[in-house]
Structure formats: C-alpha cells, structure tokens
Amino acid sequence: MLKGLFKKKDKPESGGSDRGLLVFENTTAVIRAETVLKEQGWPIRVMGPPPEIRTGCDLVIEFPLIDELAVIRKLAEANIEPLQVVPVTSVLLEPVDLLQVKEMGQYLMVRAANMKITVDRDTGIIVNISGGGCPDVPYLAEQMVNKTLEGAPHPRDVGYTLCAYALQIAYERMVELCSA
Amino acid sequence: MLGLVGTIPIENIPLISGTIVLDGDHIVLENERISVNRGTPAMIAAAAETLAYMGKPSPVAYLVGDIGDGDGSRHLYNYLSENIGEYALKTLALHYFQPDVHLFKKLFSTIYELDERPTLVGDAGFMYVAKMGGDAALFDLLTPDAGELAYLADEKAPHPFYTRGFILHEDNQVPDLIARAYRHKNASTYLLVKGATDYIADENGVIATVDQPQEEALEAIGGTGDTLTGIVSALIESGMDMESAAINAARVNRLAGAMAKPTPATQVYEVIRQIPRALDQVLNA
C-alpha cells in the first residue's frame, strides 16, 4: 500500500512550506542519504542549512515533508539516522553551480567553488587536485592523483566534507568533458 | 618562534608537536616521517626552508591525523585551547582543519588572552571557519585564492561551496571582491590573494600586485598556495613587516615555481626545493 503511494509520478511537487530538512551528524551521512533517496526517485536537494541549525561544515537534505515517514523508513533500512527532521522556515543556500574550465595544452582543469581537478586528456589520468581547506582534501588527492578518471575513487565515496562535495561536482564535469 | 598547525591525511597519526626537521621530501616530527606532497606538510616544508635561509630556528608544529571525519581536528582544537601558550610563539600559521565554529571561538579566546598574542596567519580550513563564524578580522593575514576570496566577499556564504554565482563569476574583479570582503568585515588586517596576479591589500584597497614570472601550470598544482602561506609566515617571523613579507613571499613563490619548470602534472616538492634559490634571488635583487 505505502509502496504504491510513493511511486515517482505520485510524489508531491517541491516548493514552499511543504518541504522539510533532514539534518545529519556529518557530511558523509548526508552523501549516503542522498544516494539512497535519489535511487528511490524522491525529489530531494542537498542544501546549506539555515543559520539556526548551522554548526560548521554542514549540509542538509531538503525533501517533501509529506513523505517524512517513508523517507525515515528508507534511511533506516540503510542504517542512516538523521539527527533532526525540521520544516523549512527560511531560504536555504544553493550549492555552487558555476564551474570553470581551463585548457592547458594536453591538460584540462575544472574548478568548482574552491576545488580544482586536472587531468591529462591523452591518458585520462588525474595529475593534480588542488584547493580546499578541509582535512579530507589532501586525503582525496592521495587517493585520486595518478589514477585514471575511471579507476579513481569518487570523492563522494571517500570524502566527508563540503570540499569533497565540491570536488565531486568538478570530477563529474571532468568525466563529462573527457567522454564527450 | 613560528608555530604551524594543521592536519595530516593519515588516519592513525596521533597528536604530535615539537620542532620540525626537514629530511629531503619529508618532514620529521616526533617519531613520524611525513611525505611533503601538498596541504599542511607543504606549508611546513616551505616555512622551514625559508627560516633556514633566513638563519632563524626551525618552526614548531602541532599536527594530527585527520582524513575528513574531524575527529583529529577536534582533538587538536581542544589540546591547543589548553596548551597554545607552551611555546613563546611570535607568529602562528593555522592551516588545514575541520571547520567547527564553537571550537574555533574557544581556541581564539585563549590565543587573545595570551600575554603576547602571536601574529596570526590563516589559510584553508582555519580561514573558512573564521569567516563562517564572523571572525575573519581576528587574523592579521589571510591567504585566499580567487575562489576563496569570492567566499570571503559573499557575506551570506558559510563555506566556499555556497558562494553565490553572481559573486563567483569570473567577470568580478579581484579589487572589487577585496573591497566587498572588507565592507562586510569578512577580511583580516591584510589579505594576500594568490592567483594569476597576486594582490596584497588592506581595508584601504590594493597595496601591491605581483604578476611575474607567469606560470599558468602552477594553478593546477596542489600545494602551491600552501607554500605561499609557509613562506610569508616565515618572512613575518624573520622580522619583515607584513607588507614586505607578503610582497616578497609572492615573488619567491612565483619564482620558485618557475624554476621548477612546471607542467600541470608537477608535484609541489619540485617547487619547494627551489625556494632557497628563489629567496636568494628575490631578497638580494
């Protein structure tokens, strides 16, 4: 019965006060929850938290509040538990969507916000990752540099922070550009 | 004495502190031998090279392993809040770290209560959290790149990830973004903005620019901003006034980069090893 209620075409449209926020302990949990909920087709968005619940390097997931029960149940099946579920009461911050691309001979660099990834287009190998300020950036660089775009781990799978999320956006754009 | 604080991307490195020893492309602290590739180790190596050239003692560092979950950073925040006075630090550079507004404010409350507050240089996570909490002005110098400057200039963004597009847009000129950052009190006493042209500025506007030599490949190389932070911190520690230190650091970093004959695939240690030669050329010009 519930399953039928939440078919993709039946889901409520997003917008206004019918939206809720899922607040998690860390960005890793946000990224895992995003993956689970998107796989189920929910119209969710990863956003910046409003000031009253912001603590540091935060993300929240905006979701249709009407679906709260089903969303919580689906997350629980994946062993993900939000710290809080709150209604949207103020304007949320949009993640960066302005990407910059720079060609340097055989190399291509993509920048998203404060993160840059550079690839040798002849080989598809990631030759450098720069920018960022959170501790997982040097870790991600160690895991990804000198590997191919296909063979490197995805930032969203091994990173924890907003810097990792920005690098994921740059990485996805790089994959698009290199496969075009 | 110069103090340096940051994280190492190795999960099981405990909190370590003491005087840094440079050993080729590694730094040595307590029993840990850490590769200099990017991030805080690159900043430390650049600072140590600069201090050695200037005939000053090697820096002390506080480091902890943290791969992004923030556990190591929180441990070090709390340790520093209790122990930051154990060395007589004249200059303190704060670098890669997990942003946590509450713990940052606690640490800075301690630093500002010291009998002699060190000159404070901020970059990376410490720059992010300072701006996030409305405390950027507590630093004497921040060293953002162009994207991070846009973040400082956007009074609503709590992290570079949320910088609004109309501010981040390439058409915006660096001097305008500097002015906007100061207007909203989201800048330090001085700013050293690194990029195709480096800008040194204060609340009155741009003081100087450095744009030679030009090496486009340096932008792609992870760690070249970190080396700039290390060099400028060491020059301040050596007794240079802030403006001279920032201008000379920008020149040295660019020249060391050019001397490494870089491609976008060059690794930052190749730049660091050129720092003594670049210092020699810049400071004796």
**A61, A51 contact by CB (below 8 A):** no
> Are A73 and A129 contained in the same domain?
no
pLDDT in tens, B135-166: 999 999 999 998 899 999 999 888 888 888 88
Residue A141 lies in a domain: yes
pLDDT in tens, A105-121: 999 999 998 899 999 99
Q: What is the CATH number of the domain that holds A68?
A: 3.30.70
Residue A94 lies in a domain: no
| Contacting residues of B for A129, CB less than 8 Å apart | 222
Query: In terms of pLDDT, which residue wins out, B132 or B227?
Result: B227
Work out the minimum CA distance from B104 to partner chain A, whole angstroms.
10
Q: Which residue of B has its CA nearest to A26?
A: B69
The residue written with tokens 């846009």 in the block is B150
- Determine the residue type at B62: Y
Nearest to A135 among B73, B156, B157 (CB): B73
Contact check, Cβ <8 Å, A127/B38: no
Nearest to B220 among A56, A128, A137 (CB): A128
Looking at A64, A87, A110, the residue that finishes a domain is A87
Write down the pLDDT at residue A9. Answer: 35
A14-A73-A87 Cα angle (round to 5): 40
**B139, B117 contact by CB (below 8 A):** no
> Are A18 and A82 contained in the same domain?
yes
Residue A31 lies in a domain: yes
**pLDDT exceeds 90 at position B283:** yes
- Determine the residue type at A140: L
The reply to whether A162 touches chain B by the CB within 8 Å rule is: yes
The total domain count for chain A is 2
ipTM: 0.90
Write down the pLDDT at residue A55. Answer: 65
Contact check, Cβ <8 Å, A114/B161: yes
Q: How many CB pairs under 8 A join A and B?
A: 173
Question: A30 — phi, psi (to 5°)?
Answer: -60, -45
Contact check, Cβ <8 Å, A135/B157: no
Write down the pLDDT at residue A47. Answer: 86
Contacts of residue B209, defined as CB under 8 A and 6 or more positions apart, other chains included, come to B197, B198, B199, B200
| Contacting residues of B for A102, CB less than 8 Å apart | 219
Q: Which fold has domain B2-283?
A: UDP-N-acetylmuramoyl-L-alanine:D-glutamate ligase (3.40.1190)
Average pLDDT, stretch B172-201?
95
In chain A, the N- to C-terminal Cα span, in Å, equals 43
Q: A164 lies in which domain range?
A: 99-179
Work out the minimum CA distance from A88 to partner chain B, whole angstroms.
18
Looking at A66, A87, A108, the residue that finishes a domain is A87
Q: Which residue of B has its CA nearest to A167?
A: B161
Contact check, Cβ <8 Å, B96/A100: no
pLDDT in tens, A146-162: 999 999 999 988 887 88
CA distance A75 to A42: 12
> Are A171 and A121 contained in the same domain?
yes
Work out the minimum CA distance from A25 to partner chain B, whole angstroms.
10
> Are A107 and A74 contained in the same domain?
no
> Are A35 and A77 contained in the same domain?
yes
The reply to whether A148 touches chain B by the CB within 8 Å rule is: no
Which residues numbered 34-53 in A keep a CB inside 8 Å of some CB on B? 48, 51
Write down the pLDDT at residue B170. Answer: 67
| Token pair of A106 as six digits | 């055989």
> Are A81 and A49 contained in the same domain?
yes
| Token pair of A170 as six digits | 């740059």
DSSP element (H, E) containing B51 = helix B39-53
Strands (E), A24-140: 45-47, 60-64, 84-87, 99-104, 107-112, 115-120, 125-131
> Are A121 and A157 contained in the same domain?
yes
Contact check, Cβ <8 Å, B101/A56: yes
> Are A54 and A8 contained in the same domain?
yes
**Class of residue A84 by CB neighbours under 10 A (exposed 0-12, middle 13-18, buried 19+):** exposed
Residue A74 lies in a domain: yes
Residue A51 lies in a domain: yes
Contact check, Cβ <8 Å, A137/B163: no
Residue A22 lies in a domain: yes
